[in-house]
């Protein structure tokens, strides 16, 4: 089958064997999305060799062995599904204590030791798969993984209607975070650099604030979604004493942070990564969130290299690859 292969900071289309993993579900990929992590993997920020891609919607080709009735017995061949990207061992201390996304032996779709979704087929354990409601089209379902990541913030912290919340960054993930934070009814402002990012937020009635207008020590909760040192520094200045700083992006290399000031101000720092799929699917089904406004372009798998070029353009949001 055709697949987009990453090796030594280079991506190329390759003919690779169709994946086969005993005990896992074979999935035909319908659409897959390019995310910032994919672009960073190509630049070599994390070592990975294999098929790239982790945001996808697909359909079940074969279930082997057939699932036990209590384990998602409703899944059958041909069903449209999305999949959680962390495959856990179910045996380590993290797994046994209900933290499967932190499994010590995990593989991660298209990121750690597991071929991903820029391919005709992929495989995942049955436990990772979620049924897509019929009213959620493919171009929406393909956003389930990043939307779930946005919702992880609300799994981790309590956001009250009176909270002043500042989101820094309105790119691929930032837009989804903004849409989900807006649903809490909090007093939300977003720092968005590009005109198109600002336009998308305004259309949903989400208020924008410029970097210069961000008042220091005023914000109850600050979400940093740029993954840049300057974004972190703005977030650090903005959060009030005993406020909460949520870090939603990874940072290249080491960060130079003044930790004494964080101690003195008693700031809570929360790292935030993968989130819950079912609520993400529900929010799209009920049309409370619309990620499709982020789509810039769509390419066929044969044009995956062009798709990556497009996704790397300044200000680009979501580029999809279809089978
Ligand atoms: Zn991603
Ligand atoms: Zn484990």
Q: What distance in angstroms lies between residue 97's CA and the mean position of ligand 2's atoms?
A: 9
- 171 phi and psi, to 5 degrees? -85, -145
Ion ligand 1 neighbours (CB, 5 A) are 35, 37
Q: What is the pLDDT of residue 72?
A: 54
Q: What is the pLDDT of residue 139?
A: 98
Say which ligand is closest to the CA of 104: 2
Note the pLDDT tens digit of each residue in 190-227.
999 999 999 999 999 999 999 999 999 999 999 999 99
Q: What distance in angstroms lies between residue 260's CA and the mean position of ligand 1's atoms?
A: 33
Q: Which residue has the higher pLDDT, 67 or 36?
A: 36
Contact 142, 33 (CB under 8 A): yes
Buried b (16+ CB within 10 A) or exposed e, 282-304: ebbbeeebebeebbebbbebeeb
Q: What distance in angstroms lies between residue 221's CA and the mean position of ligand 1's atoms?
A: 23
The model's confidence at residue 271, banded by pLDDT at 50, 70 and 90, is: very high
The model's confidence at residue 95, banded by pLDDT at 50, 70 and 90, is: very high
Say which ligand is closest to the CA of 106: 2
Q: What is the pLDDT of residue 68?
A: 56
Q: What distance in angstroms lies between residue 213's CA and the mean position of ligand 2's atoms?
A: 45
pTM: 0.95
Query: ∠ CA 109-156-214 to the nearest 5 degrees?
Result: 105
Q: What distance in angstroms lies between residue 159's CA and the mean position of ligand 2's atoms?
A: 30
Say which ligand is closest to the CA of 93: 2
Average pLDDT on 263-276 reads 97
Residue % of the chain over a pLDDT of 90: 91
The model's confidence at residue 253, banded by pLDDT at 50, 70 and 90, is: confident
- Among candidate residues 139, 148, 141, the one with its CA nearest the CA of residue 297: 139
What is the chain's mean pLDDT, rounded?
A: 95
The model's confidence at residue 70, banded by pLDDT at 50, 70 and 90, is: low
Ion ligand 2 neighbours (CB, 5 A) are 88-89, 92, 95, 103
Say which ligand is closest to the CA of 103: 2
Q: How far apart (Å, rounded) are the C-alpha atoms in residues 118 and 31?
A: 9
Q: How far apart (Å, rounded) are the C-alpha atoms in residues 315 and 304?
A: 19
Note the pLDDT tens digit of each residue in 97-129.
999 999 999 999 999 999 999 999 999 999 999
Helix, strand, coil: what percent of the chain each, to 5? Answer: 30, 30, 40
pLDDT at 63 over 90: no
Q: What is the pLDDT of residue 65?
A: 63
Contact 307, 283 (CB under 8 A): no
Q: How far apart (Å, rounded) are the C-alpha atoms in residues 50 and 119?
A: 11
Q: What is the pLDDT of residue 74?
A: 73
Contact 1, 75 (CB under 8 A): no
Q: How far apart (Å, rounded) are the C-alpha atoms in residues 131 and 272?
A: 25
Hey, is 228 helix, strand or coil? Answer: coil
Q: How far apart (Å, rounded) are the C-alpha atoms in residues 90 and 103?
A: 8
Q: What distance in angstroms lies between residue 77's CA and the mean position of ligand 1's atoms?
A: 26
């Amino acid at each position: 089958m055709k697949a987009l292969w990453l090796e030594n900071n280079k991506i190329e289309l390759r003919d690779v064997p169709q994946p086969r993993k005993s005990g896992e579900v074979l999935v035909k990929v319908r659409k897959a999305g390019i995310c910032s992590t994919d672009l960073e993997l190509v630049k070599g920020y994390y070592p990975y060799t294999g098929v790239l891609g982790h945001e996808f919607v697909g359909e079940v080709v074969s279930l082997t062995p057939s699932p036990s009735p209590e384990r998602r017995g409703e899944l059958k061949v041909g069903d449209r599904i999305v999949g959680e990207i962390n495959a856990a061992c179910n045996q380590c201390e993290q797994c046994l204590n209900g933290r499967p996304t932190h499994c010590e032996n995990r593989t991660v779709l298209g990121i750690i030791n597991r071929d991903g979704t820029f391919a005709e087929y992929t495989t995942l354990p049955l436990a990772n798969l979620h049924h897509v409601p019929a009213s959620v089209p493919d171009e929406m379902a393909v956003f389930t993984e990043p939307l779930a990541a946005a919702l992880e913030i609300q799994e981790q912290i309590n956001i009250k209607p009176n909270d002043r919340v500042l989101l820094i960054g309105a790119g691929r993930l930032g837009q989804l975070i903004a849409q989900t934070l807006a649903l809490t009814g909090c007093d939300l402002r977003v720092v968005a650099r590009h005109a198109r990012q600002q336009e998308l937020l305004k259309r949903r009635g989400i208020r924008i604030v410029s970097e210069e207008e961000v008042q220091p020590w005023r914000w109850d909760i600050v979400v940093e979604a740029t993954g840049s040192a300057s974004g972190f520094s703005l977030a650090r200045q903005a959060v009030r004493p005993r406020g909460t700083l949520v870090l939603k992006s990874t940072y290249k290399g080491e960060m130079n942070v003044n930790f004494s000031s964080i101690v003195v101000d008693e700031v809570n720092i929360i790292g935030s990564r993968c989130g819950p799929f079912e609520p993400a699917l529900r929010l799209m089904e009920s049309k409370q969130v619309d990620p499709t406004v982020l789509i810039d372009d769509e390419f066929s798998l044969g044009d995956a290299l062009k798709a990556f070029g497009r996704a790397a353009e300044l200000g680009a949001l979501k580029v999809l690859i279809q089978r």
